[in-house]
Chains A and B, each alone.
Chain A
């Protein structure tokens, strides 16, 4: 077969997949641009800024907590101990659950009348009553949502970081042992700098996903109370399906995409490996 013929054949083979991508990705993207309207409303939309702040705060708190917890879990599971395989599998369970299902479970846990979390707080004398309105109180609802999200996605972070840890040569730690470096020093001298690229990828990945969060909050609070947990994806849903304003909804989607692209760019630049 000539090189030229095989070149065309490759395209033919790829065609079904390309058509699929075009139909489900490229066409909707083009339509979003085509249909978007009401850019002038962006500056005067008082809800938009609250929604953007909610989304950014949610992303910041959730991803920070996931990073710290995920790193701790990854470091723990990188040690050798009896039953490590079982623990590694067990840690993954929250991530493997469908979000809607685990969100329903958290709604029970958070329930003000019969939820277990309030009961635990009450039994440990952290609260005078077991009836804590986790999802109904404007002050608590936001952090309740963050907690549920952290619970679900920390395992994913831990797995990504574990793969990064596994790539660090053990000789480095041994050299540090001979040099007399303690645990803390070994972490800052070897683990952290060598893990930085993995952390960057994990954080960007998680931040993009969290910024677009919908299902978990939809099930837990629906965006309430009083819009305190409304993120941009929920707002877009409201605009398009409740108020039937497709054009403005498309515009908001573009705002969301712009925010994500600029965040990723800034973060990549910040964590870019320094050339020596």
Chain B
């Protein structure tokens, strides 16, 4: 297991458009780190640069302190799980899993022992003699994982491994994956655009936007202390309310005396932190409900105020008058440069 260090990586398309700019981060031994961002933010490119499938224009990749920039993918002792699994269609599951070991000239008995062990770990022993085409999406995904695990590499790279599974299976596999990599004590770099995957599985999250790192931190830290408006809006469902402080003062949601000095900034508050009352209360502002969307456990309220605002309340919400009173608690307000 290993320590991965990315130092000041830059990459641009041939047209000159930047893909990655000044990307640096460190991943510690046994850590599960997610690269989170929208599509096109460069997260997969980072993964491919670490794997050696692409080269950076400048900057370096260090694995256990050694610069691997000149090493070919096979010499980096890294395993990758591809988004579409990339299983060899003409080899059976056993051959697919063992190929990396066979090509590394590992002794046969050792290979068959490790393949058996890994297949047992992932519950795919019965499929070892089948071709990938005879497997379901979830089974193929496990074979792809087995192919990576069996090698016992220094680092695991996972490129959106759950994105091709249906929603129900994805939820189940998410927790299984987390347990699995805890058990093998793997160093994992996990690329995803799904904030729930990143939040639930990672020890740390690296949030990317347009080829730049927006924030690095533990999931809870990123959620509660977003450093930029992008991070704030990217994590959490429904996403954080963002509005100009000056507008909020105008429509009475924030007081001039307390926030007048911040009127040039942008403010943010998570929908679940907004206090909602059915009755008139001190310090609360009366607002109209535009839409109430019940989701079962929660109801999302879109409110009619001078700024775009959504609030979340527990359970179902009955309000014939379409009117409530809300308050934005100071301690839950975030401020970002506008």
**A residues within 8 Å of B by Cβ?**
169, 171-172, 174-181, 185, 189-190, 193-194, 276
A181–B72 Cα distance when bound, in Å, is 11
Q: Does B82 contact A175, Cβ atoms closer than 8 Å? A: yes
Interface size class of B (residues with CB under 8 A): 20 to 34
Q: Which residues of B (87-102) have their CB < 8 Å from a CB of A?
A: 87-92, 99-100
Q: A169-B84, A175-B82, A276-B131 are in contact. Are A193 and B90 (CB under 8 A)?
A: yes
Q: Does A179 contact B103, Cβ atoms closer than 8 Å? A: yes
Q: Which residues of B (76-120) have their CB < 8 Å from a CB of A?
A: 78-80, 82-84, 86-92, 99-100, 103-104
Note all chain A residues with C-beta closer than 8 A to B167: none
Q: Does A178 contact B51, Cβ atoms closer than 8 Å? A: yes
Point out the residue from B74, B89, B130, B134 that lies within 8 Å of A178, measured CB to CB.
Answer: B74
Q: Least Cβ distance of B14 to chain A in Å?
A: 11
Q: Least Cβ distance of B73 to chain A in Å?
A: 5
Q: Does B91 contact A178, Cβ atoms closer than 8 Å? A: no
A33–B134 Cα distance when bound, in Å, is 47
Q: Does A276 contact B86, Cβ atoms closer than 8 Å? A: no
A52–B91 Cα distance when bound, in Å, is 40
- Majority secondary structure of chain B interface residues (helix, strand, loop or mixed): loop
Q: Least Cβ distance of B8 to chain A in Å?
A: 25
Q: A169-B84, A169-B86, A189-B91 are in contact. Are A181 and B73 (CB under 8 A)?
A: no
A172–B131 Cα distance when bound, in Å, is 15
Q: A180-B74, A185-B103 are in contact. Are A174 and B53 (CB under 8 A)?
A: yes
Q: Does A178 contact B100, Cβ atoms closer than 8 Å? A: yes
Residue of B at shortest CB range from A193? B90
Q: Least Cβ distance of A200 to chain B in Å?
A: 15
Beyond contacts A172-B89, A193-B90, A276-B131: 8 other A-B pairs, Cβ-Cβ < 8 A, are A174-B80, A175-B82, A175-B86, A177-B52, A178-B53, A180-B104, A190-B90, A276-B133
Which A-B residue pairs are the 10 nearest by beta carbons?
A180-B74, A276-B131, A171-B86, A175-B86, A193-B90, A179-B100, A180-B103, A177-B73, A171-B82, A179-B99
Q: A276-B133, A276-B134 are in contact. Are A178 and B73 (CB under 8 A)?
A: yes
Q: Does A172 contact B133, Cβ atoms closer than 8 Å? A: no
Note all chain B residues with C-beta closer than 8 A to A189: 88, 90-91, 99
Q: Does A190 contact B131, Cβ atoms closer than 8 Å? A: no
Q: A171-B82, A172-B86, A193-B89 are in contact. Are A180 and B130 (CB under 8 A)?
A: no
Q: Least Cβ distance of B265 to chain A in Å?
A: 45
Residue of A at shortest CB range from B83? A171
Q: Least Cβ distance of A180 to chain B in Å?
A: 4
A135–B167 Cα distance when bound, in Å, is 70
A172–B100 Cα distance when bound, in Å, is 13
